Amino acid sequence: MDIETPNGVEFSPAAKAYLCADRLVQPAGMYFGYPTPTGVKVDNRALSKGIVLVTIQSLEETGFIQVRQEQRKQLLGSYTAVMVHAVYSGAPGFSGRFLESTGWVDESLVTMLTHLFPRDQAPFIPFLDSVSDEFVEAGILTRGGYGAHGNVWDPKWLEYLGQALYPQAYDLWMRAHARADAEVIKRNVMLAVGMKQYTERDDD
């Protein structure tokens, strides 16, 4: 069955995971909780890492990227870097931004994510807000405040798409988390976030 979308827009796998996050990610309390479209708060770290994973999984499956690993040196030793080679452009939404963050050269995931995560005390939150931009552009989300607080969704589209897209989102989410390199990707995400995290000491 074909899934109807506003004006036929194609949502990225990241956007689909965002929309269905209340059923994909464990709930979280005040400190790490991020409001999903249904209002349930989930762990913003787990959702962000999952969004990176499903984006890599989907782009690799469709031939947009090739992924490999290499050892990179850092201040206190070395780490396993995920390297991304972009083959094609033209993926929708967040997937397109992910491809562009390579600069169209073979690039490390850490460097790519430093372009996608803003400098902030809690970089995961504005990062997740940016993923939902696809729904603003589709006309079914009116932006509220920081961290999805006060967001207003078109209730009919939210209910329909939440049900229609969940099977796809769940299937890709499970495949992505079953990747042999899933933990390496998650560690690369945390390295990038650490580089972008703003603290009060930065004012000194």
Q: What is the pLDDT of residues 82-121, one digit of tens each?
A: 999 999 999 999 999 999 999 999 999 999 999 999 999 9
pLDDT in tens, 112-151: 999 999 999 999 999 999 999 999 999 999 998 888 888 9
Degrees, nearest 5: CA angle 164-170-171: 105
Q: What would the two tokens of residue 24 be?
A: 């994909």
Distance linking the first and last C-alpha atoms of the chain:
58
For 44-68, give one letter per residue: b (16+ CB within 10 A) or e.
bbbbbbbbbbbbbbbbbeeebbebe
Whether 155 is in a domain gets the answer: yes
Count of domains forming the chain:
1
DSSP conformation class of 74: E
Q: What would the two tokens of residue 31 be?
A: 């400190």
Range of the domain at 118: 10-193
Whether 171 is in a domain gets the answer: yes
Whether 136 is in a domain gets the answer: yes
φ and ψ at 102, to 5 degrees?
-75, -20
Whether 2 is in a domain gets the answer: no
CA distance 134 to 92: 9
**Nearest residue to 65 via CA among 112, 21, 19:** 112
pLDDT in tens, 164-191: 999 999 999 999 999 999 999 999 999 9
φ and ψ at 180, to 5 degrees?
-65, -30
pLDDT of residue 202: 54
CA distance 193 to 47: 14
Look at residue 4 and tell me whether its pLDDT is greater than 70: yes
Look at residue 1 and tell me whether its pLDDT is greater than 70: no
Whether 41 is in a domain gets the answer: yes
CA distance 66 to 192: 20
Q: Residue 120 forms beta bridges with which residues?
A: 197
Whether 143 is in a domain gets the answer: yes
Whether 5 is in a domain gets the answer: no
Whether 3 is in a domain gets the answer: no
| Cβ contact 13:58 at 8 Å | yes
pLDDT of residue 204: 45
